[in-house]
Amino acid sequence: MKTYESHIAAVPADASAIYAVVSDLRNLERVRDLIPQDKVQEFETDTDFVRLKVDGLGQKIVFRIVDRIPGDTVKFGVENLPVEGNFWIQIKQVAPHDSRIKLTLKAELPMMIAMMAGKKIQDGIDQAADMMAQMPFEQWA
């Protein structure tokens, strides 16, 4: 398994507000407009999963919450991909309205794919952390 970890991003919100938003995948509807419509179709959400069809993959991919630690961590599993893996979001409050998040991805990637795409995966996970840090968690919770 290859592990990719984001940098630690500062979020101007309490950990409980961040957790309340990321632990319910229906909240992805709030950012649906940011999802490229030409790349992602058939986007569905529920409390515990998001199901979508990504251009070029042919089948629906499912991201499902497999574990929750209130106020601390939300862990996701992936279904219908040719690789095994999981993803999680860690949250740590450092002061009132000041938390840190870190995203981690573990995936069973073939060596060639890891070598060719590793930098893009790392950049993507860092960008995702930066995007999350800008979300209005306290308004959404």
pLDDT for res 54: 81
Q: How far apart are the C-alpha atoms of 40 and 56, rounded to whole Å? A: 10
Query: pLDDT value at position 125?
Result: 94
- Return the pLDDT at 11: 98
Domains and CATH numbers, the chain: 2-140 (3.30.530.20)
Residue 99: other Cβ atoms inside 10 A: 24
Rounded Cα distance between 105 and 127, Å, is 13
Burial of 104 (0-12, 13-18, 19+ CB in 10 A): middle
Q: Which two tokens stand for residue 4?
A: 């990719």
pLDDT at 9: 98
In three-state secondary structure terms, 23 is: coil
What is the model's pLDDT at position 130? 95
Question: In one letter, which amino acid is 13?
Answer: A
Distance CA 44, CA 63 (A): 11
Residues of the chain with pLDDT under 50: none
What is residue 32's predicted lDDT score, i.e. its pLDDT?
80
Instruction: Go through 59-86 and write b for each residue having 16 or more CB atoms within 10 A of its CB, e for each that does not.
Output: eeebbbbeeeeebebbbbbbeeeeeebb
Report the distance separating Cα 90 and Cα 75, nearest Å. 9
